[in-house]
Amino acid sequence: MVKGFSDNEVNNVSEIKNSKKEKKGLAAFLKGKKFTYTLPGKKQINIFGSLVLGLNIILILLVVLYLNNQKFHDFVFNVGR
């Protein structure tokens, strides 16, 4: 016999089956539901793309304004307190 191994078989199958827990919360709610994912249409892609690009441009403008305009910098600093 090699060290670390035994000739006796261990049956843990019944323990594994019994150890499965019932799903709780959101998982239990979604257990019987069937969801299908559909790809967004061209119009929806354009709307979300425009929204993301617009918000990024606004963010860049606000960062540049924050770094270059002392009054805006002070306003952000005081509002953030």
pLDDT in tens, 46-57: 999 999 999 999
CA angle, corner 30, sides to 27 and 34, nearest 5? Answer: 140
Average pLDDT score over the chain: 81
CA distance 27 to 18: 19
CA distance 66 to 50: 24
pTM above 0.75, yes or no: no
The token pair that represents 14 in the structure block = 């019944």
Per DSSP (E only), the strands in 23-67 are none
**pLDDT per position as a tens digit, 15-29:** 555 555 666 777 777
Q: What is the pLDDT of residue 36?
A: 77
3-state DSSP call for residue 1? coil
The burial class, CB within 10 Å (0-12 / 13-18 / 19+), for 61 is: exposed
